[in-house]
A = this chain, B = another copy of it.
Amino acid sequence: MKPLFYSDYLEGAHPYLLQVIQEANFEQNPGYGEDDYCKDAARRIREAFSVPDADVHFLEGGTQTNATVISSVLKPYQGVLCPDTAHIAVHETGAIEHIGHKTLTLKNNDGKISAAQIIDAVVGHYADANHEHVVQPGMVYISFPTELGTIYSRKELTEISAACRECKIPLFIDGARLGYGLMCSECDIEPSDLGKFADIFYVGGTKQGALFGEALVICNDAYKKDFRYNIKQNGGMMAKGWLLGLQFAALFTDNLYFSLSEHALAQAQKIRAAIKEKGLKLFGGSPTNQVFVELSLEQQERLAQFVGYEYWQKIDDGHGAVRLCTSWATTDEAIEILNNAIKTL
């Protein structure tokens, strides 16, 4: 079998998580996330991110988490500001519109948007004499890391957060790959910073060592009330919610979540080194577990003989960018096969 670098959710779960599920399998746990594992996991997450007063909920996947949060926060006539590359804007089959809201896209810069763009959008909205005829910006959605693997700096996040407060709209951070951002060497923010910047964020499990699951952290009191109704209404309340609690409790035991993140990042760095050594050009500035590289059509074909990768986008008639993802599960053997293949391009 060729090793696959298509995405970071190809394998199941870290063995420790399977083990705890196995051990708990015949326990009888209350349903819908009202079990002790969820309580324990919530406690650990509050501690890991230094958000002692946050509400923590567990949902199965990112699309439903995004829709649930956005449906919960916005008024009917409001939309969500986000990069034009945002997952909610391009890869969730209009889940946000399905439940009534517009994604208000801002031009991304290597996956990111800036505080200035947010302020311009909000100030511009109210400056428009016809603003009542236009969807009102009601919140900001960014992901950390972004869809392009890039990360916001402390300075950028501080400014974005300040912009949101100035505009009186909340900041929601999609952390589907949160650990891969926070543990990356270029990252100058700490887990404990997140709750200072964001009103709501989530800690991705699906791509970070769990079978599935996202841990949603609501920091701002204004958004806590009755949130579980929203989860149920949006189809995100797992009958066996304890499966989520159990996995997140395990991931936040002995720093496992962050260790697994570091592993993926180290593997990505090995790929970047091979790319650099070969004289190939990285595409974009991702320092995280997603490695983007520019390849000619011939190089793409050749690489495909050795490993699976995701074709990302056309650059010019002869060249395109491809994506190589590492994860908590990426083995040294897979990296070796990939890096040997890179040498031959």
Contact = CB atoms under 8 A, between A and B. Distances in A.
A155 interface: no
A232 interface: yes
A135 interface: yes
A234 B236 CA distance: 10
A134 B90 contact: yes
Contacts of A239: 9, 61-62, 206-207, 212
Given A12-B27, A94-B233, A207-B239, 17 more contacts: A10-B30, A10-B31, A12-B24, A12-B240, A18-B21, A26-B329, A63-B232, A63-B237, A64-B235, A77-B233, A91-B133, A94-B102, A95-B232, A97-B100, A97-B101, A102-B102, A212-B243
Contacts of A234: 95, 98, 235
The number of chain A residues touching the other chain, given as a range, is 35 or more
17 contacts: A3-B28, A6-B31, A9-B239, A11-B25, A11-B26, A11-B27, A11-B29, A61-B235, A61-B238, A77-B93, A77-B94, A77-B98, A77-B233, A92-B133, A93-B132, A93-B233, A95-B234
Interface in A70-106: 71-72, 75-77, 79, 90-103
Interface string A1-26: 10110110111110100100110111
A60 interface: yes
A240 B13 CA distance: 10
A168 to B, nearest CB: 12
Contact of A232 (B22, B30, B92): B92
Interface string A238-253: 1110010000000000
Contacts of A93: 77, 132-136, 229, 232-233
A228 interface: yes
**What is the total number of copies of this protein in its complex?**
4
A230 interface: yes
B102 A100 contact: no
A94 B79 contact: yes
A234 to B, nearest CB: 6
Interface string A45-76: 00000000000000011111001100110011
A277 interface: no
A52 to B, nearest CB: 24
Contacts of A102: 94, 97, 102-103
A130 interface: yes
Interface string A129-157: 11011111000000000000000000000
A101 B101 CA distance: 9
A211 interface: yes
A71 B77 CA distance: 10
B31 A25 contact: no
